Amino acid sequence: MRIPRRSFLGLLASAAASTSLRRAQATPPDSPTPANDPLRPEFHLMPQHNWMNDPNGPIFWKGNYHLFYQLNPHAAVWGDMHWGHAISTDMIHWRHEPIALAPTPGGPDSEGCFSGSAVVDQGSPTFIYTGVQNAAPQDVTLHDAANKLRETQLLAIAEDDNLLRWKKLPQPVIAAPPAGMNVTGFRDPCPWREADGWYLAVGSGERGKGGCALLYRSQDLRHWEYLHPLAQGQPTGSTAADPVDSGDMWECPDFFEVDGRHCLLYSTERKVYWTTGDYDRRTHRFTPTRQGILDYGAYYAPKSFLAPDGRRILWGWIPETRPQAEYAAAGWAGCMSLPRVLGVNAEDQLTMRVAAEAEKLRGTPMRGTLKGGAQNLPLDLLHQEVALNLAPHTQSATLRLLVDKKPAWELLLDWRSGTGRCADRSFPLPARAAAPAQVRLYLDASVLEAFIGDTDAITTRCYTLRPSHIALEVTLDAAGSGAWTQCPLAAISPDRLTA
Ligand code: FRU
């Protein structure tokens, strides 16, 4: 929770980020306002002001989607975590609601309401989340340079059908990690229901042994029995001071079944891993068969939920990658990714595509063809979706956003060498076996969510784009060809405050 962990916000830039639980300075008066800042996204959900990080407790209840998220209501830097709340009928257009969870002075969440999940228990939406408080050294589970905190798992029950009021249980439902474990952390509970009761994965790990997700069982969400690790990582050999950086602490485990397979997501080493595999419902052991990286860029701590139509929808946090001084002055930091529909393909890979609801934002499309060499597409908008359909024989494609004719952002895809590159990040490109490739880009001011087929994604931030000065240049190898489609995407609110 201290500086280096949050400074992966600088994973694509050199952010000298500094975070602590202390409250930060308010935005200086001469800063741009969120409503007139051209770098602020217009169709990605985010609070009207200040800092957000992880999505928390997504749930569909009585006709509405509810999304909660880590919020610092005082400043655009991490600290004093609350749960913000937004409500929607389509997962795209949102209304901001009052804060759902705030720290209770003197309570087990007095220093912050950390991430968690929502389930329906006996007809009542219920949160299970991690509370943090200052504690005696023997009870501390989160220790780094800036923080010495005890993490416990807490319950809160909705008191109304709009999920505006929540009643907390005063005592933790899990007060300490399993006896004998010297944990690197103990947080971000993920519950699910099986025929014989509730199960819960909690993010944790041990120094030098790798991260893990600890598995618990309960009949009533209130009394929990520890079983064993649901999944266990490997020692990474890294000696980074922060166990999240060294891979010895897994944050935000998310465990679910999709397309008849089980999937575990977790966040560590500044990355989000997916693992598909077999879950034995008798022994409650998860045996991974395949692993990958969910998004190669600025994307962290995702959380999924089951939509009423059976789709498994994933939300992720898109952090800032510029220096803290800049985002603190801007008065806003972080946004939610677009909703991604998850699946598992025949090769056991996690697949994702942006939910069809996002198509509602589309304006009139433009279309054209692509041939070998460089060409400029007439796309000077800061908020748009671009799809390239590349013919099977296309070997390479480079997408370049130019600002006043100079490259500001670049995505290189080379299927010959099997590598992709974007903003100094390299990643493997799967073999395409003579199949066409689709590349889809969602550009929203400083946010770029890019998808290559349905298995690879890279989300990046670019803070130099300016309206009416940009162009998209696409370069294919000499023999390459394909087609492009572009659609302007509408803002989700009239005042640019995203609700
Ligand atoms: C992940 C995380 C979680 C924690 C929350 C605190 O980004 O560190 O592990 O619950 O953020 O804001």
Q: What is the pLDDT of residues 448-460, one digit of tens each?
A: 999 999 999 999 9
Q: What is the pLDDT of residues 47-59, one digit of tens each?
A: 999 999 999 999 9
* Mutation pick for ligand 1 pocket among 20, 80, 114 (CB with most ligand atoms within 8 Å): 114
Q: 470 alpha carbon to ligand 1 midpoint, in Å? A: 35
Atom of ligand 1 nearest to the CA of 252: 9
Q: 371 alpha carbon to ligand 1 midpoint, in Å? A: 45
- Between 415 and 22, where is the model more confident? 415
* Mutation pick for ligand 1 pocket among 19, 81, 186, 252 (CB with most ligand atoms within 8 Å): 252
Domain hosting 429: range is: 362-488
DSSP three-state, residue 137: helix
Q: Does residue 319 sit in the same domain as residue 459?
A: no
* Mutation pick for ligand 1 pocket among 2, 19, 53 (CB with most ligand atoms within 8 Å): 53
The catalytic residue positions are: 54
pLDDT score of 135 more than 90: yes
Q: Does residue 350 sit in the same domain as residue 287?
A: yes
Q: What is the pLDDT of residues 295-350, one digit of tens each?
A: 999 999 999 999 999 999 999 999 999 999 999 999 999 999 999 999 999 999 99
In a domain, 499, yes or no: no
- List the CATH number of the domain containing 375: 2.60.120.560
User: Which tokens in the block code for residue 187?
Assistant: 């947080």
Q: 54 alpha carbon to ligand 1 midpoint, in Å? A: 7
CA pair distance 31, 174, nearest whole angstrom: 43
Inter-residue contact 315 to 336 (CB < 8 Å): yes
State the pLDDT at residue 27.
46
Q: What is the pLDDT of residues 248-292, one digit of tens each?
A: 999 999 999 999 999 999 999 999 999 999 999 999 999 999 999
- Computed over every residue of the chain, the mean pLDDT equals 92
State the pLDDT at residue 31.
58
State the pLDDT at residue 17.
32
Please report, to the nearest 10 degrees, the dihedral formed by the alpha carbons of residues 122, 229, 8, 349 taken in order. -80
Atom of ligand 1 nearest to the CA of 5: 8
User: Which tokens in the block code for residue 316?
Assistant: 């992720």
pLDDT band at 465 (very low <50, low <70, confident <90, very high): confident
Q: Does residue 281 sit in the same domain as residue 387?
A: no
Give the full edge-to-edge strand order of the sheet including 82-88.
Answer: 95-101, 82-88, 64-72, 50-61, 332-333
What's the structural domain count of the chain? 2
Q: Does residue 100 sit in the same domain as residue 49?
A: yes
Given 326, 354, 382, the domain boundary residue is 354
For ligand 1, residues with CB inside 6 Å are 53-54, 70, 81, 114-115, 130, 187-188, 251-252, 300-301
State the pLDDT at residue 26.
45
Pick from 154, 150, 129, 153: nearest CA to 141: 150
Pick from 488, 486, 443: nearest CA to 41: 443
Mean pLDDT score, 210-235: 97
Given 301, 335, 354, the domain boundary residue is 354
Q: Does residue 348 sit in the same domain as residue 482?
A: no
Mean pLDDT score, 468-495: 93
Atom of ligand 1 nearest to the CA of 78: 12
pLDDT score of 153 more than 60: yes
State the pLDDT at residue 208.
92
pLDDT score of 186 more than 80: yes
Q: 115 alpha carbon to ligand 1 midpoint, in Å? A: 6
pLDDT score of 443 more than 80: yes
Atom of ligand 1 nearest to the CA of 267: 1
Q: 251 alpha carbon to ligand 1 midpoint, in Å? A: 7
Q: Does residue 397 sit in the same domain as residue 435?
A: yes
Given 333, 354, 375, the domain boundary residue is 354
In a domain, 1, yes or no: no
Q: Does residue 348 sit in the same domain as residue 415?
A: no
Q: Does residue 175 sit in the same domain as residue 322?
A: yes
Q: Does residue 383 sit in the same domain as residue 457?
A: yes
Q: 425 alpha carbon to ligand 1 midpoint, in Å? A: 24
Q: Is 73 exposed, middle or buried (0-12, 13-18, 19+ CB in 10 A)?
A: middle
Distances (CA, A) of 301 to 69, 113, 129, 306, 422: 11, 15, 14, 17, 21
Mean pLDDT score, 8-29: 35
State the pLDDT at residue 495.
82
Q: Does residue 72 sit in the same domain as residue 52?
A: yes
